[in-house]
A and B are shown apart, each in its own frame.
Chain A
Amino acid sequence: MSDEKDTMNESTTAQAGPDAGPGASAADVVLRVENLAVDFRTEGGAARAVRGADLTVHSGETVAIVGESGSGKTTLAMAVLGLLASNGSVAEGHIWFRGEDLGQAGPQHMAHLRGTALGLVPQDPMTNLDPVMRIGRQIDEGLIDNGLRTRRDARGRTVELLEEVGLPDAARRASQYPHEFSGGMRQRALIAMGLSGRPALLVADEPTSALDVTVQRGILDQLSDLTHELGTAVLLITHDLGLAAERADKVVVMYRGEIVEQGPARDVLMNPRHEYTRRLMASAPSLASRRIEIARERGLDEVLDEALLAHEDGAVNGVAAGEPLVSVRDVTKVFKIRGHGLLGRSKDFTAVDGVSLDVPRGSTVAVVGESGSGKSTLARMILDIETPTAGTVLFDGRPAGGANQAERIAYRRRVQPVFQDPYSSLDPMYSVFRAIEEPLRAHRFGDPEARRERVEELAEQVALGKGLLRRFPSELSGGQRQRVAIARALALKPELVVCDEAVSALDVVVQAQILRLLAELQEELGLTYLFITHDLAVVRQIADRVVVMQNGMLVEEGTVDEVFDSPRTAYTRALLDAIPGKDLELAL
Chain B
Amino acid sequence: MLRLVGQRLLLLIPLLLGLSVLLFAWVRALPGGPVTAMLGERYTPEAAAAIEAEMGLDQPLIVQYGKYLLRLLQGDFGTSLRSGRPVLEEFVNRFPATIELTVVALIFAIGVGIPLGYLAARRAGTVVDHTAVVVSLIGVTVPVFFLAFILKYIFAVELGWFPTSGRMSPTMEATHPTNFYVLDGILTAEWDAAWDALVHLILPGIALGTIPLAIIARMTRAAVSEVQNADYVRTARAKGIKPARLRTEHILRNAMLPVLTTIGLQVGLLLSGAVLTETVFAFSGIGSFLAEAVFNADYPVLQGFVLLIAVTYALVNLLVDVSYGLIDPRLRRQQ
Contacts and interface: CB of A to CB of B under 8 A. Distances in A.
Interface in A37-94: 81, 83, 85
Give 10 closest A-B pairs by Cβ, nearest first.
Answer: A115-B240, A142-B239, A120-B238, A114-B240, A127-B231, A177-B329, A145-B241, A111-B240, A130-B232, A128-B235
Given A114-B239, A122-B235, A194-B238, 12 more contacts: A83-B237, A111-B243, A119-B238, A131-B330, A133-B253, A138-B236, A141-B236, A141-B241, A141-B245, A145-B240, A146-B239, A177-B330
Interface string A257-276: 00000000000000000000
23 contacts: A111-B240, A111-B243, A114-B238, A119-B238, A122-B231, A127-B230, A128-B232, A130-B236, A130-B249, A130-B250, A131-B328, A132-B254, A132-B329, A132-B330, A133-B250, A141-B239, A141-B249, A145-B239, A145-B240, A145-B245, A179-B329, A197-B239, A197-B240
A177 B328 CA distance: 10
A124 B231 CA distance: 8
A226 B237 CA distance: 23
A115 B243 CA distance: 13
Contacts of A120: 235, 238
A341 B231 contact: no
A193 B235 contact: yes
A116 interface: yes
Nearest to A120: B238
Nearest to B256: A132
Given A131-B330, A133-B249, A177-B329, A113 B240 contact: yes
Contacts of A342: 3, 7
A141 B240 CA distance: 9
A190 interface: yes
A373 interface: no
A232 interface: no
Interface residues of B, number: 28
A129 B235 contact: yes
Contacts of B242: 111, 145
| Residue in B231, B245, B328 whose Cβ sees the most chain A Cβ within 10 Å | B231
| Residue in B229, B231, B238, B254 whose Cβ sees the most chain A Cβ within 10 Å | B238
B239 A193 contact: yes
Contacts of B329: 131-132, 134, 177, 179
Contacts of A129: 232, 235
Given A127-B230, A141-B245, A342-B3, A132 B327 contact: yes
A216 interface: no
Contacts of A134: 329
Nearest to B249: A133
Interface in B120-178: none
B67 interface: no
Nearest to B254: A132
A111 B239 CA distance: 8
B234 interface: yes
Interface of B: 3, 7, 229-243, 245, 249-250, 253-254, 257, 327-330, 333
Contact of A132 (B236, B239, B245, B253): B253
B238 A83 contact: yes
A128 B245 CA distance: 17
Contacts of B234: 83, 122, 128
Interface residues of A, number: 37
Interface in A88-131: 111-116, 118-120, 122-124, 127-131
B3 A127 contact: no
Interface in A173-208: 177, 179, 190, 193-194, 196-197
B229 A85 contact: yes
Nearest to A123: B231
B232 A127 contact: yes
A162 to B, nearest CB: 15
A257 B25 CA distance: 72
Interface in A370-413: none
Contacts of A116: 240
Nearest to B234: A83
A141 B230 CA distance: 18
Contact of B330 (A81, A128, A179, A193): A179
A131 B235 CA distance: 12
A81 B235 CA distance: 11
A453 to B, nearest CB: 41
B241 A111 contact: yes
A131 B3 contact: no
A290 to B, nearest CB: 36
Contacts of A118: 238
Nearest to A133: B249
A128 B239 contact: no
Contacts of A133: 249-250, 253
Contacts of B330: 131-132, 177, 179
A130 B240 CA distance: 15
A85 B229 CA distance: 8
B286 to A, nearest CB: 36
A246 to B, nearest CB: 25
A81 B229 CA distance: 16
B240 A112 contact: yes
A120 B327 CA distance: 27
A131 B232 contact: yes
Nearest to B327: A132
